[in-house]
Amino acid sequence: MSAFSAIETKRDVDQNEFTPDIEPQATWCPGCGDFGVLKALKGAMTEVGKNPDEVLLVTGIGCSGKLSSYFDSYGYHSIHGRSLPIARASKLANPNLEVVAAGGDGDGYGIGGNHFMHTARENHDMVYIVFNNEIFGLTKGQTSPTSPKGHKSKTQPHGSAKDPVRPLSMSLSAGSSYIARTAAVNPNQAKEILVEAIEHDGFAHIDFLTQCPTWNKDAKQYVPYTDVQEDEEFSFEVTDRQEAGEMMYEAESRLSEGEVLTGRFYQDDRPSYGQEKRHTGEMPEQPLAERYFDDSYEWERSADLMHRHR
């Protein structure tokens, strides 16, 4: 028997269950794209049939980090850039948890970039949502890693001399096995993509365009947007690494010119990290967390290792 009956018991879930009974007043501005992520995530979790007590939502710092405050599940609002290492260890400790990490573009592609690269490389079975608004919002409008070249802000008064990072291409080369871009203004696609990401067995990275109506008016509302799967101009195979890479390059370049391309960009069925680690004999078959609640487990002792030291 599991010590975690929220995971063991499967039941129908209502979308409202992910909304706290008394909802904390959101700190997001009216018209903020972050509301779109919250709504899409609630819808997606309901659709895949997860209940609030079996979901762990780990967030970083910034407006995006507040997601865990308004989404009713186990939440871990961590520190800037570090949502991924916390989230992936929780998943290793208890692989039956549904683990989602989320943060902003500064959080994921800037200060936490190293963790992004390695979590993708290891292909942990989890979802990573990056709220990409091409700006540092909560600190009041500084240039971020995804801000377009020439972007002017209080900290870049003459305009940024840097090209923005290419999040999709970076994700592909790092090793993510599901890569998509969606936009807050496209709630149906966002929900569908989140459902796919949750169901995907591996590291699913979603670059989520979230308009910042206060500090990044240039980005408008990321409308009009184009779905690369539906528009006839684009024809590529999401499982073809090379074609996917070219499509990503195109989408990233066009965003700098104000054209919004969204959709699924890459999908690969390579084994997740948990599977690989179990395969090499370095991870137990049963969730480690269960063992601490199992009174019948015979714990190994250092006394068993003494023969090496005699």
Q: Would you tell me which residues interact with another protein (CB under 8 A)?
A: 2-7, 9, 20-22, 24, 52-54, 56, 58, 61, 66, 68-69, 72-79, 82, 85-94, 96-97, 114-115, 117-118, 277, 281-284, 288-289, 291-293, 297, 299-303, 305-306, 309-310
Rounded CA separation 189/265 (Å)? 13
Nearer to another protein, 26 or 221 (CB): 26
Q: How far is the CB of 149 from another protein (least distance, A)?
A: 28
Question: Nearer to another protein by C-beta: 158 or 307?
Answer: 307
Distance CA 132, CA 65 (A): 12
Structure tokens at 157: 């008064």
The residue (of 126 and 209) whose beta carbon lies closer to another protein is: 126
Altogether, the residues listed in the chain come to a count of: 310
DSSP lists the bridge partners of residue 142 as: 136
Which H helix or E strand runs over 59?
Answer: strand 55-59
Q: Shortest distance, CB of residue 54 to another protein, whole angstroms?
A: 6
Choose between 111 and 179: whose C-beta lies nearer to another protein. 111
Compare residues 36 and 65 and give the one whose CB is closer to another protein: 65
State in angstroms the smallest separation of the CB of 78 from another protein: 6
Q: Which is nearer to another protein, 232 or 295 (CB)?
A: 295
Structure tokens at 107: 């959080």
Please report how close the Cβ of residue 64 comes to another protein at its closest, in angstroms. 14
User: Shortest gap between Cβ of 136 and another protein (angstroms)?
Assistant: 18
CA dist., res. 222 & res. 201, Å (int): 30
In this structure, are residues 88 and 122 in contact, taking their beta carbons and an 8 Å threshold?
A: yes
Q: What is the DSSP string of 188-232?
A: HHHHHHHHHHHHSSSEEEEEEE---TTT-GGGTTS-SEEETTT-T
Minimum distance from CB of 224 to another protein (Å)? 36
